[in-house]
Structure 1
């Protein structure tokens, strides 16, 4: 964790002698925003291949070439009309075996079947070829030029039954323009994404004959998930400095305006803090591009004895705007893959005080105890999930900007910085119903960072068994692996034992305390332990972890480690 600002240390030394002075001052009051909770890696459950009920289309009313019993013709060239999916050259190559040899009428009829099969093999199941008599009259039997008419089927209309508020949302994601040739494989891929869409509970589709020639109607039957949810949570994941026991309530709506837009409002408190968070996410295109706005605010007061006698208070806020756009989205029968790029703009502000007097409590704050930073963040996400495993990678480059009056100090840390973060998660099914869950993180920075940008070592989301935010470092790495051992599983209940090992190491860029000189910064944490998780349908999730620190003393241990953490969450 960060060292206290030198002026803070001096002030504490000048205070009247009390028990508070007789103990080690915590190196970082927990007055900044908690680190954002990263979304859980999805369990590898790719959607089943969607079944499409198909009613045969009536044949087109096209008079075709009449039989010529006992006679043969020699075709020297095939012409084509109406084709847009395949070129004339591609179709001619397909019919090459029928050129320049004598053909019976049956063999000539085979040519339209070959072209129709080519379309069907490529997913164009409502398209086909015909031999119209109007285009094939008066040909020379010894040097015939035959024309095949290609009828390419289109979608006349998409009818959605159910999901009243999301009907337009569903139509757009099926990605069928009125003039586009219908392709069953393209439709199946779009359906797979709808099957895993969190807004939808069930979705099925029928292909019906259209009211116009060569057209079809897509009839979609959909049922939505419950849009409004209430979640209550209780955990001891916060720092003891502000009270480790946290109570939370979260309200969320997954379809606020009928666009598939999502709003989340969260309130949480501990004995010494109140936190409010709100987020709104709006889909902006059919490829799952989203725009999100997030705001967090926390008001904290140090309640940990004996430091509560100093009346240390702090307020922190974060505003962030994010645009995320998937560039690659593939949904095959057994796997899903996504690659996305994104950019965020964030604004962070904090102020601290002692005895109600604005005062710098940590490095990077100005003389009035304020720190401000504006940053641009460029990120990339990659996710692959199949029936055996799920892998995700997240890379983010953050650049502090001299915009909107950030805190600028003669020496860092301040609002100018460049930092890079890489995160990875891996979920794997093993034999005997075992599960392997691993995660890792790497942080690198070009200079000392403000506390909100640093890597946190210690705590439930870092190295279990140690105090939450035991240390904050500019650079570092985290790693964790746990084995999920099923103890009891049914349709409603799931109980798992999870032995784990956690590791974290971190170091700062050059930091010098004007009073104490160079600051020793390298810290390494290592723990092993056991976890127990219980889940009741989608309504209740409980977890308890017991971590055993393996390193102590100079390597990062402390007498106030938190060996047992728990969380309890319920939602309607």
Structure 2
């Protein structure tokens, strides 16, 4: 009698005819052997990409010639401001401009020469530009001074039109390149509105470009010239790592390829393929397609993935395999897009279907329909970067073929023998802070990942503890829980002691090599656990990381960690080590 049949017989004898006892006697599979644990991990919070220092160029304020002594001076009783409007939303009020003019007038009771008047106009221009009106220009128009009243005129600079410089070939049409600025035509040019448009333009897949201002065809108008800098039709990465599990394949080879603007509509198609090794037990593939709708800040997309795996290692004799399919339709909008901060909202509806098969056993099926709302925010300040993500997920039982609120076919059984259903609410909060320390190039990375649900969840919705993006002293998906929290602190030091020394290819060692020290902690709870001892669970660890890279080309990283608590890793490895190599093309 083989090991699997022996196990099945023992399981039946222990269970008898009591379904509650059958659940209690069921084998305790590791989290990595479940449909959720076998899926590749979700990407960690991404930091905002660096914005080029010069997104646009504007005409400089003309320099004035020297003022000759003895020039004719005109006594000024009052300054008359023309061409200016109130802009309280941008932080500039007419009363403030008038106050500046009055202060300047009182400072010269002896009167003003033409050079003095031009200096007053320059001060008004400077105030406008400090408040973000980057093409505004104040000047002294030709006039006949009566009763000591001198006119100071302001050309605030309205955007007359947007044109495209065809000097560099691009796959984007003029219409698409003008689209981010449609709401700005006829409006006074302001830095925030302009930067939003240019950043939305640079968000076009594979596009790079900048803006140049020049005089418009009408007085007081300015023209924005979009100057493409070249397209990248394809972007790809190849990744080799050991972030998998012993039961479905520890080593993984993954390829990701993005096809930018395939239909000429500022769309993008992302393709992914992952194969595990040691053992060769898991294959994952997926694609994401997205394209703008309505305007450059709103887009829709579809996310489809397929994962199939066989459970190996010490559980291979059980003959367990699984297939998971996920398809999601989503729409997203970038509500805020700027250098300092970004805010995006995303609404999605997903169908998730996972089948777990075991020889001589009925199939276990998790069939979910999930509505989700996700909010992403990031902000750059003088000392670092803050990133936050909130996600609410709601299960919809009996919707689009989903299983009911409780299902006997579900992969997770409760103590009373019933199955976990698809009626649930789940809340996730992810926070990260990259803080620049007062030492050359050193940074502190603080992370928090958390999930709360009052409902028992299937593995597809559970919170994973352990792995290269969690507690690094344990293998991936050491535990799967319904609610949990993970916190981490990591101190990064570029090439300690030799960061400024030359390395190769005009790079310094501080750009190539990085040392990090980290500590991780996680705690999780199961709702309605089979045994009281199953919840809560705690994991903690500390370790060291090494990173080598050529920025923009490749990166190799090694992380080594050891547990700080009493729980031993399920793979009996201490210290735990994770390696990854990423090549960009």
The alpha carbon displacement at 1:113 in A equals 7.8
Q: Once the 2 structures are TM-superposed, how far is the Cα of residue 482 of structure 1 from its aligned partner?
A: 2.1
Q: Check conservation: 2:244, 2:250, Cα contact below 8 A.
A: yes
> Equivalent of 2:274, from 250, 262, 268?
268
Structure 1 pair 179–428 and aligned structure 2 pair: CA distance change class (3 A): same
Q: Quote the residue 1:548 is aligned against.
A: 562
User: Judging changes above 3 Å, is the alpha-carbon distance between structure 1 residues 109 and 236 closer, same or farther for their aligned structure 2 residues?
Assistant: closer
1:145-294 map, 5 Å = 151-161=155-165, 162=168, 164-166=170-172, 167-174=174-181, 177-183=184-190, 186-187=193-194, 190-191=197-198, 199-201=206-208, 203-270=209-276, 271-284=280-293, 288-294=297-303
Paired residue for 2:29, among 12, 26, 31? 26
1:428 matches 2:435: yes
The residue aligned with 2:520 is: 502
Asked if the contact 2:319–2:358 (Cα under 8 Å) also holds between the matched residues in 1, the reply is yes
Work out the CA distance in 1 between the residues paired with 2:442 and 2:77.
66
Q: In the alignment, which of 294, 298, 305 is matched to residue 296 of structure 1?
A: 305
Instruction: Kindly indicate whether the alpha-carbon contact (under 8 Å) linking 2:200 and 2:337 is maintained by their aligned counterparts in 1.
Output: no
| Counterpart in the other structure of 1:3 | none
2:23 corresponding residue in structure 1: none
Alignment of 1:322-361 (within 5 A): 322-331=330-339, 336-355=340-359, 359=362
Q: Secondary structure at the match of 2:171?
A: helix
The 1:150/1:442 distance shift into structure 2, 3 A limit, reads closer
2:377 corresponds to 1:382: yes
Displacement of 1:374: 1.2
Q: Give the superposed CA RMSD.
A: 4.0
Secondary structure at 1:432 match in 2: coil
| Contact 1:434/1:484 (8 A) holds in 2 | yes
| CA distance 1:466–1:96, shift in 2 (3 Å) | closer
d(CA) in 1 for partners of 2:517, 2:191? 46
The alpha-carbon deviation at position 294 of structure 1 amounts to 0.7
Structure 1 unaligned blocks of 5 or more: 1-7, 16-22, 58-68, 360-367
Aligned counterpart in structure 1 of residue 537 of structure 2, from 523, 537, 540:
523
**Contact kept in structure 1, 2:435 and 2:444, CA below 8 Å:** yes
1:46 and 1:385 in contact (8 A); partners too: no
Matching residue of 2:11: 13
User: Which deviates more, 238-247 or 110-119?
Assistant: 110-119
CA distance in 1, matches of 2:49, 2:274: 31
Greater mean alpha carbon deviation, residues 448-457 or residues 249-258:
249-258
- For the 8 Å contact 1:337–1:385, the answer to whether it is kept is yes
Structure 1 residues 54 and 429: alpha-carbon distance in aligned structure 2, compared to 1, 3 A threshold: same
Query: Partner residue of 1:395?
Result: 390
Correspondent of 1:404 among 393, 400, 403: 400
3-state SS of the aligned residue for 2:440? helix
Do the aligned partners of residues 117 and 453 (structure 1) sit closer, same or farther apart at CA in structure 2, a change above 3 Å counting?
same
Structure 2 regions of 5+ residues with no counterpart?
1-5, 14-25, 63-71, 408-417
Structure 1 CA distance, aligned partners of 2:184 and 2:385? 33
How far apart, CA to CA, are the structure 2 residues paired with 1:48 and 1:282? 28
Distance 1:78 1:484, change over 3 A: closer
CA distance in 2, matches of 1:438, 1:476: 17
In 2, Cα distance between equivalents of 1:338 and 1:154: 26
Distance 2:455 2:572 in 1: 30
Q: Which residue does 1:65 correspond to in 2?
A: none
Counterpart CA distance in 2 for 1:173 and 1:120 is: 27
Distance 1:184 1:456 in 2: 43
Partner of 1:369: 364
Whole-angstrom CA distance in 1 between matches of 2:364 and 2:115: 87
Q: Which residue of 1 aligns with 2:577?
A: 564
Q: How far off is 1:395 after superposition?
A: 1.4
Q: Distance in 1 between matches of 2:543 and 2:50?
A: 28
Partner of 1:362: none
Please give the TM-score of this superposition, normalised by the length of structure 1. Answer: 0.77
CA contact (8 A) 1:341 1:380 kept: yes
Query: Which residue number corresponds to residue 470 of structure 2?
Result: 462
Q: How far apart are the structure 2 equivalents of 1:466 and 1:37?
A: 18
Cα gap change, 1:448 to 1:412, in 2 (>3 Å) = farther
CA distance in 2, matches of 1:36, 1:385: 27
Q: CA offset at residue 466 of structure 1? A: 1.6
* Cα distance between partner residues in 1 of 2:517 and 2:98: 64
- Native 8 Å contact 1:81 1:147 kept in 2: no
Q: Could you say if the C-alpha distance between residues 500 and 259 of structure 1 is closer, same or farther in structure 2, counting changes exceeding 3 Å?
A: same
